[in-house]
């Protein structure tokens, strides 16, 4: 069993990764609450944005900052385009159908990434990854700080946005009942479009951070959505605050299991185990995944 | 309740506009890429310094087009998402095109029939059956597959085929009718471990991807460490790695200060770990080594200068940057006949296999057919090339590991450079000991100078 000193650096890596899981989870929850769509293409969109940024910097000779902005904008643009094209025709369908449709987008993007970029080793280092500071014996870089900070800031920002802005109120209205909200004069498609756009922009940011914290690899970034999904499920796809906490717990649990060699190779199960335990506990308490009128 | 939103008015045009933005971004991103493989530079020498040493000749090297009935050879390569070995056979094909432009095999052209499989035993078996019974190939050259050796070696033995390929599975090295130009992951890991032992590490940790065959691969590592009395930890990690920072910390802690870490992963996965280590300042906490897949300028370039002279990579074949006859021919052929294929170990394998096969076929007196081709392959002895430390051979033996001596290279300013001269893979590993004994009994053993 590792000593406390040996566990300390894993707390840093766990919180950093957990922060980005939370960030991604919040993006998924906001979209689900507004549109009823569980976006399984969240990771693939971020991955493609990050690879485009890599291409621009390394092959196109672009400066880093505009390339990073393009990465985020790409996330917003592709997600918004999907939402506008496929959102309305699928609006009346079962949530499972909607989620499966986004899986189609994920697979198309994954195939495109494999075709364009192959599986050669490549990396994109944010300037924040090369700057670090010492906390006790642990070296912390600023990308790790950013991961946690973004998770917290986006969560708090989302809570305030949903509570105090007209668009946020409209999103909450849609989450409660789409038909009634529409009859009250809320322009449903515009509100949903805003949710698609925000979720897409968050996927771009998450892709950028994860390409540094995890690695610039299409398949890895695409399937990291599973850990974020676990955080969102623990929050019953409704509470962004609980999503933040769940994301951090998932990140920490996975990281802290890593140095314990006897269970290390099973740590990838942590998100599913935690989600399953949470859902079982919630169902005993009479809570279920938030049903959303479509 | 009435809520006004400020989100633009012309909604019909928004999807098109969004798609246009995506397309524009994509085009902008791809604008500067002349490289089909999307790589970050290959250190090829294509546009670098002009070679001073003359390249070897393709086959007869007479500049005359071959004609007549082609001599058919066959290759089977794994091609599936994440694993694509087809560039090995494609490079072999490029070499044969050059041979065909230079007199062929005594006037006859060579045709390479290429099959692929997706780690499916039935498919691998069917591919071999098609090559031999339908296409009636005279020989098997240029195969690299995760499972093909294991599935087909008996079939080849029964049908009298002697395969010149590159291997992964144990059967590519431990059966009588295979002689690979590479040494495979087990012996490459042993070579990387030897480098760390020379660096004086007090403990050794092996981390490899969690796939079938990890126990076979760790065999040499464990035997060598046991012989040297060094404690070990052998770990496997599911790929793709999703928490590289934690993985890097784990192996550094497992190795302890100044311990040694051997990585056996594909370049993208190894890069994740090495980069995570660099970001956490772990490069100097332990000594790092890697098996052959890390020997690529893509990885060196992606690492920047963070691991310069701090990562020993076992190299089964010589660096692509050397100015030597065969390596120069290899670069010329890729440039002329297969410009889309990047320089690196895989294409080196294909080139070398085709070069060895061509050399053997040119020595055939009389009709070139299945019997004479395989007899020629079987009798290959002392094939010298600057791509290998020692001559390649085939011969009749229960196992073949002709490539059992290799280099250590290291990243340096974005490219791989030589760190250690040729050294022998340790005989602490039983198969290597057996091969050396066979070499000595056959009189073909050459000690490293």
Q: Where are the alpha helices (DSSP H) in B280-424?
A: 297-303, 325-337, 345-362, 370-378
Average pLDDT, chain B: 87
pLDDT category at B379 given cuts 50, 70, 90 is: very high
Enumerate the residues of chain A whose CB falls inside 8 A of the CB of residue B268. Answer: 119-122, 215, 217
Enumerate the residues of chain A whose CB falls inside 8 A of the CB of residue B297. Answer: none
pLDDT category at B447 given cuts 50, 70, 90 is: confident
pLDDT above 70 for A119: no
Tens-digit pLDDT profile for residues B266-293: 888 899 999 999 988 899 999 999 999 8
Beta strands B204-209 and B232-237, pairing class: parallel
What's the mean pLDDT in B233-241? 88
Tens-digit pLDDT profile for residues A51-94: 999 999 988 999 999 999 999 999 999 999 999 999 889 888 88
Rounded CA-CA distance B95/A134 in Å is 55
Q: Any bridge partners for residue B114, and if so which?
A: B75
pLDDT above 70 for B72: yes
Report the chain B residue with the minimal C-alpha distance to residue A54.
B29
Which ipTM value was assigned to this complex?
0.79
B234–chain A nearest CA distance, Å: 10
Check A255 against B39: CB less than 8 A apart: no
Check B39 against A120: CB less than 8 A apart: yes
Burial category of A176 from C-beta neighbours within 10 Å (exposed 0-12, middle 13-18, buried 19 and up): exposed
pLDDT above 90 for A177: no
> Residue A138's pLDDT is what?
77
CB atoms within 10 A of CB B423: 17
A96–chain B nearest CA distance, Å: 24
Give the CA distances from residue B307 to residues B44, B295, B436, in Å, rounded to whole numbers and listed in that order.
21, 13, 34
Q: Where are the alpha helices (DSSP H) in B338-424?
A: 345-362, 370-378
What's the mean pLDDT in B14-39? 40
pLDDT above 80 for A290: no
Q: Which member of A13, A77, A219 has the closest CB to residue B240?
A: A219
Nearest to B422 by CA among B412, B433, B408: B408
pLDDT above 70 for B23: no
pLDDT above 70 for B11: no
Nearest to B419 by CA among B281, B269, B287, B278: B287
Check A194 against B5: CB less than 8 A apart: yes
Rounded CA-CA distance B21/B291 in Å is 43
> Residue B49's pLDDT is what?
54
| Strand, helix or coil for residue B158 | helix
Q: Which member of A9, A121, A194 has the closest CB to residue B268?
A: A121
Q: Which two tokens stand for residue A3?
A: 């000593």
How much of chain A, in percent, has pLDDT values that exceed 90? Answer: 44
Rounded CA-CA distance B129/B123 in Å is 10
pLDDT above 90 for A186: no
> Residue A189's pLDDT is what?
85
> Residue B70's pLDDT is what?
96
Note the pTM of the prediction, 2 decimals: 0.81
Say how far residue B171 (Cα) sits from the centre of its chain. 17
Rounded CA-CA distance A15/B73 in Å is 56
Could you write out the DSSP letters of every residue in A49-94?
HHHHHHHHHHTS---HHHHHHHHHHHHHHHHHHHHHHHHHHHTTS-
Specify the residue for token string 């995890």.
A214
pLDDT above 70 for B39: no
pLDDT above 90 for B82: no
Enumerate the residues of chain A whose CB falls inside 8 A of the CB of residue B244. Answer: 213-215
Which residues neighbour B24 within 8 Å (Cβ) at sequence distance 6 or greater? none
Enumerate the residues of chain B whose CB falls inside 8 A of the CB of residue A60. Answer: 28-33
């Amino acid at each position: 069993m590792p000593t406390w000193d040996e566990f300390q650096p894993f707390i840093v890596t766990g919180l950093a990764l957990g922060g980005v899981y939370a960030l991604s989870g919040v993006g998924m929850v906001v979209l689900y609450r507004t549109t009823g769509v569980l976006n399984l293409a969240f990771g693939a969109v971020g991955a493609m944005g990050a690879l485009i940024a890599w291409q621009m910097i390394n092959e196109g000779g672009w400066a880093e900052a505009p390339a990073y902005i393009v990465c985020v904008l790409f996330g917003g643009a592709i997600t918004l385009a999907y939402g506008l094209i496929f959102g309305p025709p699928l609006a009346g369908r079962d949530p499972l159908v909607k989620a499966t449709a986004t899986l189609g987008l994920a697979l198309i993007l994954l195939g495109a990434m494999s075709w364009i970029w192959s599986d050669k080793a490549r990396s994109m280092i944010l300037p924040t990854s090369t700057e670090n500071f010492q906390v006790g014996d642990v070296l912390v870089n600023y990308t790790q700080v950013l991961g946690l900070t973004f998770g917290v800031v986006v969560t708090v920002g989302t809570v305030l946005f949903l509570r105090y802005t007209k668009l946020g109120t409209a999103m909450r209205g849609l989450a409660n009942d789409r038909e009634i909200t529409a009859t009250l004069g809320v322009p449903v498609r515009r509100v949903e479009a805003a949710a698609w756009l925000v979720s897409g922009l968050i996927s771009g940011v998450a892709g950028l951070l994860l390409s540094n914290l995890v690695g610039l690899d299409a398949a890895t970034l695409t399937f990291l959505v599973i850990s974020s999904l676990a955080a969102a499920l623990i929050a019953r796809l409704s509470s962004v605050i609980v999503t933040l906490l769940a994301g951090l717990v998932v990140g920490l649990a996975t990281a802290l299991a890593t140095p314990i060699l006897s269970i290390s190779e099973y740590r990838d199960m942590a998100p599913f185990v935690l989600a399953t335990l949470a859902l079982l506990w919630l169902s005993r308490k009479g809570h279920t995944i938030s049903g959303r009128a479509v | 309740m009435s809520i006004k939103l400020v989100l633009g008015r012309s909604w019909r045009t928004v999807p098109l506009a969004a798609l246009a933005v995506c397309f524009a971004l994509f085009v902008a991103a791809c604008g500067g890429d002349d490289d089909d493989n999307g790589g970050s530079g290959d250190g090829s020498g294509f546009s670098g310094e002009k070679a001073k040493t003359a390249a070897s000749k393709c086959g007869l090297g007479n500049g005359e087009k071959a004609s007549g009935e082609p001599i058919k050879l066959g290759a089977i390569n794994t091609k599936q998402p994440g694993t694509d070995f087809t560039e090995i056979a494609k490079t072999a094909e490029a070499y044969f095109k050059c041979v065909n432009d230079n007199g062929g095999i005594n006037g006859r052209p060579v045709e390479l029939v290429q099959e692929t499989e997706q780690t499916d035993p039935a498919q691998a078996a069917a591919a071999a059956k098609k090559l031999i019974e339908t296409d009636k190939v005279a020989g098997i050259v240029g195969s690299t597959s995760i499972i093909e050796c294991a599935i087909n070696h008996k079939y080849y033995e029964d049908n009298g085929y002697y395969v010149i390929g590159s291997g992964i599975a144990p059967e590519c090295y431990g059966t009588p009718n295979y002689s690979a130009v590479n040494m495979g992951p087990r012996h490459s890991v042993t070579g990387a471990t030897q480098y760390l032992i020379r660096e004086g590490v007090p403990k050794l940790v092996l981390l490899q991807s969690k796939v079938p065959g990890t126990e076979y691969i760790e065999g040499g590592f464990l035997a060598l460490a046991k012989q040297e009395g060094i404690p070990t930890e052998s770990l496997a990690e599911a790929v793709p790695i999703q928490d590289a920072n934690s993985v890097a910390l784990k192996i550094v802690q497992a190795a302890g200060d100044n311990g040694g870490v051997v990585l056996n992963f594909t370049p993208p996965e190894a890069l994740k770990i090495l980069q995570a280590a660099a970001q956490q300042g772990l490069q100097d906490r332990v000594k790092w080594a890697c098996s052959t897949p890390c020997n690529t300028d893509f990885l060196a370039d992606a690492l920047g200068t963070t691991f310069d002279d701090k990562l020993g990579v076992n190299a089964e074949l010589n660096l692509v940057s050397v100015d030597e006859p065969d390596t120069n021919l290899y670069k010329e052929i890729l440039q002329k006949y297969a410009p889309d294929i990047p320089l690196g170990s895989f294409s080196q394998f294909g080139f070398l296999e085709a070069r060895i096969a061509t050399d053997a076929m040119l020595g055939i007196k009389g009709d070139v057919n299945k019997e004479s081709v395989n007899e020629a392959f079987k009798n290959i002895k002392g094939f010298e090339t600057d791509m290998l430390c020692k001559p390649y051979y085939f011969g009749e033996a229960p196992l073949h590991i002709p490539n059992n001596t290799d280099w250590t290279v290291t990243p340096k300013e974005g490219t791989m450079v030589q760190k250690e001269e040729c050294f022998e893979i340790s005989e602490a590993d039983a198969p290597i000991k057996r091969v050396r004994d066979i070499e000595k009994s056959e009189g073909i053993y050459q000690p490293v100078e």
